[in-house]
Chain A
Amino acid sequence: MEAMQYLSESPDSINSSSNDQPVSNRNLNRSQRIAEKEKRKNEAEDPFVAAVKYFSDVEAGTPVMGNDVFEGNLVVVEKVAYAEGLPPDAISVMLEFAMSLRMGTSLCPRVLKCLIPATVVPQDAVVRAVAWLGVSKIPISTQVLFIKWVLTVFDMIDAKDQLRAIYGFIFSFVTEENLCPFICHLLYLLTTKQNVRVFRIRKLLDLQDRLGKQPFLLHLLSLYKVFCPELVTLSVPSRMKRGFRNHNSPWKSALAFVQKKNSAAIAPSAGVTLTIKDQSNRRKRKHCHLELPVLTCALNKESQAELSSNRKLVPLAHLRSFAELLENMHRIELPAQMGSLLSTSVALHYLDCVQEESALLRLNFWLGYTLREEFLFCRDGGATQNSDEALQFLNRLLCAHQFLQEGFSSSEGFLYKFLTVWDGCLMRPQILGLLSNIPVVPSYKMGQLLLEPLKQLYFTSSPFFKCGLLECLNGMLRNWLTWHSVYALEDNMDISISSHTSIYMTLSGLKDSVSQLVQFVDHLAVVGLQLESCHSLLLNFILDFYETVCDMFLKYGLPLVVLPSPGVFYPALLATDPVSVDRLAYIMHRYKVNLAFAKSQLKITEAFRISRQTFSDFNHYVVDMVNFLWNAKAFQSGVNVQLDEGILQRSKVPECSTSFDLVYHPAFMSYAIDFHHKCWPERKELDLSSIKHVKPWSWYVEYLFSQGYDGLELFKRTNINRWQPVKGDKEDSGTMQL
């Protein structure tokens, strides 16, 4: 209780109100007055208010035909009724208008149909309308419609005492054959013990003789029998088939809509994004797995009695803000259904520190069940049927993943299954998003669970899917590395084998997994670039990935260096867009920094050993890059790319070797021309080779750097040691020695 009280009067609100009042009391009053005035003015102008006024004032006998004012007003009322429901006074006015037949009988059904209460129905209005039934000549079908309306809104009538008072009057309509079933239902709802009288029973029995054993009569009689068993001798069958047939009234759906809308408006919105469960909608759907359970308190109080006696527990459902959560952190009671934790951000905060294994397991059971039922077991393609809901659900799950910065194991298990049947299109962003959140997969499992299905999807889909997948795998790698860097620091990398039966990942296990993932992506990249003929968008996603890979050691502390294979390196080096070349230069620069750091570490500790092969591969790449871009000696040093002279000659490109330096490289040619124009504006003829002279060359390189090609600049700074200003001399690339 203590906690509850505290929660209900938030300290903030008390403070703020007590501070504000004395200072701005007068202002407040004035502003209130103004607001009221404004409101009144608005009301006067509000077409709805005007329309209702019209119906309350309209004189009897006003013609309907060709009456535009009337038509306009009715349309206004109808619009409001279907959108948000009618307020009680409007219900009174409209009901009175319809039942009094002031403008004839033809309108009555139309008006009745739009009587959708927003909140309650005033009892007076209903009583008056019933009175009209006896007075005016309302067609029988309209009378039926009216009684149906009363039955539909019965629970919304604000009081029933007066209706009960006119029980006898209502009863008199029983004799009307068409009205009888509905009147019986209404009487059934109104009957009290005092209403059961012998003459009424006799009347009903009479009717039964006349109409046969109608269920509505039987039901009313059986109720009479319950109240006064001594008066009713009739034997009622112990099990009756059905109650009063629930008349498929025209108001049901509109009423449900209005109520839903109104309840949504009332629902608390303080940082809480609750999904309001829509019962009516839910019943229609055959598969309704995708709804988050409502956050409710644990129902089995008895079983937890011993727990709560020790300390007062606060149900999570009662918490509305993060501050409240912090206050009650130590005594929070988990909800009855753990799945509901995904519904609000406050609950997600709490989930982040839930430690109970069973609680997480409950959540995983629910989530795994939901995902599998919706996307795997659904025979009739349920996922495509209600893709909106599925989309919302997955988005919510994705949000939760991103919020918690980790994925749930059940969604991981689901993904492994789903990947084998996925067409690569359905909910692509969501699925890829979930995929990038999966925790580290042990390398011996990775191939079968993850890589094989992904490979198949990758090779059979468009370049855009390929890009998406590469981005997803990049995210996955980054997540793995981040986890490692966070938790390796905490535990100082003491890797102990647990006594449990399960297998834990050691550092070397993680390294295996990471290098397997990198090699897999490398493989995808090489083949992808060939398939899509070096699609530059794809190339950019590949370089994105390598930007993560090249920094694994320095940025994330994972002692592992994996170089891109030539199938990635050379397409990037020879790409036609300068951005790719620049990014490659940046990546090579980062590799160099990482390797240099690793080497310096090696001198201090035997932290990790980089294979000789890695160094030599790296050196070859750097040499090639410098030879291509700076020394104009493409295809000559040729360790990695060995091209047959014949092929080069067949290409009919004069001076192949120079065609990929910074001047003639297709990616930079436009800069060279631009530079040429700027440098020698007076020259008519374009002579790019003149840039290669010592001075212009250094200017040109500076010019390129100034255009934002930082990667090239960094690459030059770390890899090119000496600057030999004589053209044709080999520039020394700063290769690394082990």
Chain B
Amino acid sequence: MCFRRSSVWIGVAKMVPARQKSVARTPNSVVQRKSKIKSYRQSYQSMTAASRLCLTRALTSLWLNTSRTAPKSDNILDKVDPRQLASLMKTEWQLSYVTPLYQFRYTQLKSYSRQLSAFMAAEKEQVEDGATQNFKVSFSVVHGLVETDYDAETILIQIYSKSFFAGQNEHQKPVWKGWLACVNGNRDYINSLPKEFISLPLFGSSGTEALTALVKSWFQKNFDCCFGSLEINHISLQWLVALWTNYHAESNIKQLQMIWTLPVQPLLQVSYAVNPVDAWELWCSVKGDQPELVKENKVIDIDDVMRLMKGLMGYFYRLFKVDLSAGSLSSVSTALGSAKCRGQIKISNSKCMTTTLTLLTECALLKMPI
């Protein structure tokens, strides 16, 4: 369903939606173990405050940030090698969160490539691709896909199938791709980790599940980390709606398409497509500024997001008498990218890469067990 611009939006800006709590907070005791003092014996404080095995860390940001700023450097293409960027874009990634990697060295990527190839060869009977396939793995660093100094550089892993019969000069397309990233990670969290750990909390993979499982298990065995599935929850999807709409002035989003799931028997799926111009105008009215000013104003607040969603839902209600707020958003897609609640993300435009990855990094960090 599409609608043209109309006067429907008057008064939208006046609506003040209740501030929502986004993500359940992790209760973390702030008490921290005192690091071992000279002798083997433990100190009184360390034991009573929190026992020796208790290294409880405090995540200072226990919620998703309530306001976001667009990255300062507008053009990611200046920082990142376009070829590497291209391999990250236009692919739908299945997301996972990863606990910090222990003793991961950027200097050893070559050796990791070899080790992972060997590991896959050893375990290949698990992969159903038959006995004739061999894998060639390449690890590479995507330089520049970071926002702050403490962000670890993104790692790109590509797996090529090395078939006996493939011609040497055939163009090789990876059978599996994956990356580990940290963009704008929480500074306090990252700094609280000992230096042997590297926090790359966000993992995206594209390829067969069997290969993904192999790669994950290799990482688990080598860097003592754990992989868990990362869903993109309702709030994060709403954030993406707003963040992507906000880019419309720079790059046409073509269409804002949302899929809502309503909890009725049987489950009702509502597909709701909005004309980009309408979406942009609604966004401007939410921001309460002239469109030119909206472009300049880089800070987006959770209240803006909520007002935008309220506006979208309100219009739908007036037309169909279906209140979408009873359900939850399960998918968002625009020309800039798409995201699904089960943890799939696709980024089609390099402009919104950093913003999107920042949001996802935050989601991943919220899932950290400590």
Contact = CB atoms under 8 A, between A and B. Distances in A.
A369 B226 contact: yes
A715 B103 CA distance: 63
A486 to B, nearest CB: 7
A495 to B, nearest CB: 7
Given A365-B225, A442-B29, A491-B43, A510 B51 contact: no
Nearest to A441: B29
B221 A410 contact: no
B222 interface: yes
Nearest to A364: B370
Nearest to A484: B48
A440 B56 CA distance: 13
Interface of chain A, helix or strand or loop or mixed?
A: helix
A244 B131 CA distance: 9
Contacts of A504: 31-32, 34, 45-46, 49
B49 A493 contact: no
Interface string A222-263: 110110000000001111101110100000000000000000
Nearest to A334: B224
B112 to A, nearest CB: 9
A239 B174 CA distance: 13
Contacts of B164: 222, 226
Nearest to A504: B45
B32 A502 contact: yes
A483 B47 contact: yes
Contact of B370 (A365, A441, A491): A365
A239 B55 contact: no
A77 B32 CA distance: 63
Contact of B111 (A225, A226, A302): A302
Size class of the A contact interface (CB-based, 8 Å): 35 or more
Given A409-B54, A442-B29, A510 B221 contact: no
Contacts of B44: 487-488, 490-491, 493-495
B29 A244 contact: no
Interface string A351-364: 00101011011111
Contacts of B36: 355, 357
Contacts of B29: 409, 412-413, 441-442, 445, 449
A350 to B, nearest CB: 13
B36 to A, nearest CB: 5
Interface in A330-364: 336-339, 353, 355, 357-358, 360-364
Contact of A498 (B45, B48, B126, B370): B45
A498 B128 CA distance: 57
B369 A372 contact: yes
Given A365-B226, A439-B50, A448-B27, A409 B132 contact: no
A505 B45 contact: yes
Contact of B369 (A369, A416, A498): A369
Given A369-B369, A413-B29, A487-B42, 19 more contacts: A222-B165, A237-B165, A239-B163, A243-B130, A304-B103, A361-B55, A361-B194, A364-B369, A409-B54, A440-B48, A483-B51, A487-B48, A491-B45, A493-B44, A495-B45, A500-B34, A502-B58, A503-B30, A504-B34
12 contacts: A219-B132, A222-B132, A239-B163, A243-B130, A364-B53, A366-B224, A368-B370, A372-B369, A416-B27, A439-B51, A504-B31, A505-B49
Interface of A: 219, 222-223, 225-226, 236-240, 242-244, 246, 283, 293, 296, 299-300, 302-304, 336-339, 353, 355, 357-358, 360-373, 377, 404, 406-410, 412-414, 416-417, 439-442, 445, 448-449, 480, 483-484, 486-488, 490-491, 493-496, 498, 500, 502-506, 509-510
